[in-house]
Structure 1
Amino acid sequence: MTTFGRQFLNADKVAEEAGKVAMEKMRNSALMWVGFVAFLFAVFNRLFRGPHRLLSMAGIRLLS
C-alpha cells in the first residue's frame, strides 16, 4: 500500500494533527494581539494620564 493510502485510511489522526496545528497558530496569534493591545494601552495611559496622576498622589505639585 502506498503512503497516500495509509494516510487516507487514518483520517481521524490526520484531522487531529491538523486541528492541533490550527489551534497552536490561533493561540500564538491571539497572544501576540493581546500583548500588543496591552502595550498600546500602557503607552497611551502613560502619555495621557500616568505621570501627572502619580506625581499628584505623591504630593508633588506640577509647575503649570
Structure 2
Amino acid sequence: MDEKVMEMFAKILEGQKDIQNELKQEIREVSYKVDKLEMRMENKVSDKIKMLFDVCQVQNETVANI
C-alpha cells in the first residue's frame, strides 16, 4: 500500500512539474506579447503627439501672420 501511495505521489509531483513548466512558457509568451504591444503603442502615441505639435505650430504661425 505504501508503494502505491508513493507511486501516486510521484505521478502527482510529475504532473505538477509539467503544469508549472507549461505555465512558465505561457507567462513568457504573454510577457513577450505585452512588451511588443507596449512598444507599438509607444511608437503610435509618440507619432500622434508629434503630429499634433506640428499642427499646433502651423496654426500658431498662421495666426501670428494674420
Q: TM-score range by the shorter chain?
A: 0.5 to 0.7
The gaps in structure 2 that reach 5 residues or longer are 1-6
The gaps in structure 1 that reach 5 residues or longer are 1-8
- Give the number of the structure whose residues are more often helix, by fraction: 2
TM-score by length of 1: 0.64
Where does residue 27 of structure 1 map in the other structure?
Answer: 27
Higher RCO, 1 vs 2 (CA within 8 Å, ≥6 residues apart): 1
Percent of residue pairs identical: 2
Aligned positions, number? 51
Deviating beyond 6 angstroms after TM superposition, the runs of 4 or more aligned structure 1 residues are none
In the alignment, the residues of structure 2 paired with residue 29 and residue 54 of structure 1 have an alpha-carbon distance, to the nearest angstrom, of: 36
TM-score by length of 2: 0.63
